[in-house]
Structure 1
Amino acid sequence: MPSAPRRQAPRRQAPRRHDPDRRARILHAALDVVAEHGVAGATHRRIAAAADVPLGSMTYHFEGLEPLLTEAFTLLADTVAARFTERMAAASTYEEACEAVVDLVVGESWASPRTMLLSYELYAFAARRPALQEVMRDWMDKSRAALGRHFPPETAKALDAMIEGLSIHRSVDRAPAGREAVRAIVGRLVG
């Protein structure tokens, strides 16, 4: 009489590693990779390695590279806008607000070399991507709202453009405008 087939014991799966910060780590790593290699050099493999996560985590958390980069750039915009807003909120007088604008141009709370590099990448990447253009518009709105606590809307708009433009120039200029020169420009803009 044939014996009954042996029932195999169920295979034990390896315990799942609980990693609640994995998604955030991937987003930060994406920005690190973009800062080092540019958007063109950002790959799932490089980002996974930088985040120290399995490659499969990339597709588990993000539908593709473009949604990942969009979310990473959103994180960048939100982080920088929060620093910008915090600096402007610390000003309690008109004079302090003007000095805060100068700080935003010559300090590194907004215009650090890394932030400027990532901003250049964001502008280029967003040129043909409406979702990222919306991220940029939202960032602009937050900056103007922070400035609008102290200045009329048209002045806030002009100051926002000046902060960004001078920051870009300062990042590549051989003789960037110093604090006094920036203070004089702010004075002319605010009247």
Structure 2
Amino acid sequence: MPPTQLEMVPLTGCDLADLLRLRQAEDGWLSPTNATSPPGYVTGAPSFGTYVKAAQRDLAEGRHVTFGIWADGELAGEISVGGISRQALCSGMAGYWLRRSRVGQGIMPLALASVIEFMLTEGNLHRVEVNIMPRNQASIRVVEKLGLRAEGVRRSYLHVAGSWEDHVSYAVTAEELAGGGLVSRLLADH
């Protein structure tokens, strides 16, 4: 059943603790698509305090923002926009996940559309990209529903679940929203 209320809110402090607890609870569901450290590069997980300070610093400096997805008042997942570069590039990369019990309710397409629109307007980015493993068909369906442009395959792009994985790169630019936003396009299709 689709949620009656959906909110995406940048996370700080205590909200990050809730998000980490949710990620840990959903680890079995998320682990096949989780980024991992390749052998020889493992530095160990940071303490929670270090994680929160780094997340708050990255948010304040405009390098990374983590949005919590709340569906009917429940923390349902996350959309992060990281690798944010300003100046000539003005670009960022989005990644996302939902708790297993919320998948298939239409939450992620609407949440991702909202966050991308926000980043291309209020966030002053020119481009947002999403990189997805070809085997992650559910995630590919999300970006296809939004009409993001496929740009090709990035070979051995990211270390995931213990091995280097190819990813298909999808993107959208601010100019591509000129004829209407992603949210309005998505809602018009339903």
Tell whether the structures are fold-level matches, with TM greater than 0.5. Answer: no
Q: TM-score, normalised by structure 1?
A: 0.32
Greater Rg by CA: 1
More helix by share: 1
